[in-house]
Structure 1
């Protein structure tokens, strides 16, 4: 038995029947929901409740991360767009045209996260333009977080349905 056979036997490339894939899916979406434009949501909630220096911390972190997001978009936005589109297209074709389950799983993780990335860029531009403070900033962050959570719920639902279909098809058809 060769090295690649051993690796593929130890690491099951049938992603939808692998517990690690579902753990990764949960971790990705809980992390995306918790970190709103780079700011941890518990800090936003604490600032909303207590105010004071917590509000200043949130405003400073938002300013830092908004500037960072917009700088990356300005400096390497075109290159990132090309690379992400290439990677997503490759995963889409390998996964759904050629039936590579690992590529399907990566696509079902990556595509919604790229939508969250675009949403973050949009939110960063709105925050830079409007320069909200206090409750207005919390409202903007809340809208962003709720939208990410909706994208996450839809993504998890679609991934679950597709994963069940794949597992059922392989189970019934025998591989």
Structure 2
């Protein structure tokens, strides 16, 4: 057996019938809900339970990541928004107008993540504006995580429905 054939069987461009796509989808949303504004969620739980140094560490880490996100948004936010819109529009056109399944799969991953990115910027602005700490910070981070998980659940549901539709309509060999 040719190693090219083996490689392309492993990394199939028919995304919705490929196990690797579904593994990536699960890992992406698991990671996105674990890292709240760049802070691991277990750090939030530890700070809430133990306080003291864990709370100081959490507030420092949140402050660093909030300032970093807002700086990036201020310096290059317009350019990043433009490139992101171009990228998402290109994926949508390639995927849903020109029927390229790989572009559909990447769009169904990237679009909801862009919503999480906007949510992160909004949350960062609110944290900086309200100068939150302690219990208010925990609530804000929990709310951000909940919204991220809701976006993830909707994304996985829509992706699963679209993937099943693609697999049923195209059949096992891709049309």
Residue 168 (1) aligns with residue 153 (2)? no
Instruction: Map 1:18-167 onto structure 2 (within 5 A).
Output: 18-167=18-167
Once the two structures are superposed, residues 12-45 of structure 1 have per-residue CA deviations (whole angstroms, 9 ceiling, x without a partner) of 1000001110000001000000000011000100
Whole-Å separation in 1 of the counterparts to 2:160 and 2:55? 39
Name structure 2 gaps, 5 residues minimum.
none
Alpha-carbon RMSD: 1.8
Deviation at 1:70, TM superposition (A): 0.2
Once the two structures are superposed, residues 89-144 of structure 1 have per-residue CA deviations (whole angstroms, 9 ceiling, x without a partner) of 00000000010000000000000000000000000000000011100000000000
Number of equivalenced pairs: 173
How has the CA–CA distance of structure 1 residues 58 and 82 changed in structure 2, closer, same or farther, with 3 Å as cutoff? same
Give the alignment's TM-score, normalised by structure 2.
Answer: 0.94
Whole-Å separation in 2 of the counterparts to 1:8 and 1:20? 12
Q: Runs ≥4 in structure 1, deviation > 4 angstroms?
A: 4-10
Q: Please, which moves more after superposition, 17-26 or 5-14?
A: 5-14
Q: Please, which moves more after superposition, 94-103 or 10-19?
A: 10-19
Deviation at 1:7, TM superposition (A): 6.2
How has the CA–CA distance of structure 1 residues 6 and 79 changed in structure 2, closer, same or farther, with 3 Å as cutoff? farther
Whole-Å separation in 2 of the counterparts to 1:153 and 1:137? 24
What secondary structure, in the 3-state scheme, does the structure 1 residue paired with 2:171 have? helix
Give the alignment's TM-score, normalised by structure 1.
Answer: 0.94
Whole-Å separation in 2 of the counterparts to 1:38 and 1:8? 35
